[in-house]
Amino acid sequence: MTAFGQVGVVGAGLMGGGIAQVSAVAGYATIVRDVNDDLLARARRTIEQSLTKFVEKQKLTAEVAAAARGRLSFTTDLLAFRSTDLVIEAVTEDLEIKNRLWAELDQICPLAAVFASNTSSLPIGAQAAATTRPDRFVGLHFFSPVPLMPLVEVIRAAGTSDETFDRATTWVRSLGKEAIAAKDTPGFIVNRLLIPYLMDAIRALEHGVGRVTDLDLGMKLGAGHPMGPLTLADMVGLDVCLRVADIMFAEFREPQYAPPRLLRQLVGDGLLGRKTGRGFYDYSVNPPTPMDLA
């Protein structure tokens, strides 16, 4: 059982850039595609900064980092994926957008190429249906930041073949990641358990159960979590948390998945967490201080 030769990543944002980086470090020629040169230049800078930090911390040698840079290429043209063996999408969490992309890639990529979605919540089967290769379609849900987080959920849709699932799992492990098998159901494993926890923490803040720091320290020091739920929500991105919660609530109609009013308010105000500098905490100061959300 072999992994893949050339890898293509569609979407050069935080997730796509991270996936491309670990793919290149693991020895795969990797093409990164986005819609304009500015987004690609930003991704290139982010990957370069990340590789430099890994070298400084002696987690990579300078030779390995240089080789990884040489394996990366950047393009705005999907036709560059004509020779790819594995294509991973990391675009907006919108099924219509993803399916338009898959239909286009289905006409471009080799018939034997495997398609994989990095979605955190959308059905893999519903994306596979937009292609002529449901047997060669799988979910690969990486976690942020990709170069540091050791887990990938490998999601098997109803039509995913054993060979595709096994090849995808082999590839994930070749990156030095741990692969876990997940069913094609909203939220898969991690978000199925995580989203209710984050929503409950936000509701507890709304109801005055504790302040931001009290809730975070309670779970960090009392439950042994590496960080509190509100810090984690800021790191994931409050807009991402809201999107995933909305998808899961629409599917299950169970109250633990329902996004609290406070989360919608913060997202509506553009306070999305670390990526915008403010969320439950203000990251413009060091150390970050809790926001006044009363």
| 244 and 155 share one domain | no
CB burial of 185-220 (b: ≥16 within 10 Å; e: otherwise) equals ebbbbebbebbbebbebbbbbeeeeeebbebbebbb
Residue 290 forms part of a structural domain: no
Assign residue 67 the CATH number of its domain.
Answer: 3.40.50.720
pTM of the model: 0.92
Domain CATH for 198: 1.10.1040.10
User: How many C-beta atoms surround the C-beta of residue 160 within 10 A?
Assistant: 23
Q: How far apart are CA 217 and CA 227, in angstroms?
A: 8
Structure tokens, 216: 């975070």
Helices (H), 113-260: 124-128, 162-174, 190-206, 212-222, 229-236, 238-252
Structure token pair of residue 83? 């020779």
Are residues 133 and 111 in contact, defined by beta-carbon separation less than 8 angstroms? yes
Catalytic residue list: 120, 141, 153, 191
- Using a 10 angstrom Cβ sphere, with 0-12 exposed, 13-18 middle and 19 or more buried, the burial of residue 45 is exposed
Q: Is residue 2 part of a domain?
A: no
Q: Is 291 among the domain residues?
A: no
Give me the domain span that covers residue 58.
Answer: 7-183
Q: Output the CA–CA distances (angstroms, integers) from residue 41 to 12, 118, 135, 147, in the order listed.
A: 9, 22, 35, 19
Distance CA 283, CA 281 (A): 6
Q: What is the pLDDT along the chain (294 residues), one digit of tens a residue?
A: 457 999 999 999 999 999 999 999 999 999 999 999 999 999 999 999 999 999 999 999 999 999 999 999 999 999 999 999 999 999 998 999 999 999 999 999 999 999 999 999 899 999 999 999 999 999 999 998 999 999 999 999 999 999 999 999 999 999 999 999 999 998 999 999 999 999 999 999 999 999 999 999 999 999 999 999 999 999 999 999 999 999 999 999 999 999 999 999 999 999 999 999 999 999 999 999 999 886
What 3-state DSSP class applies to 139? strand
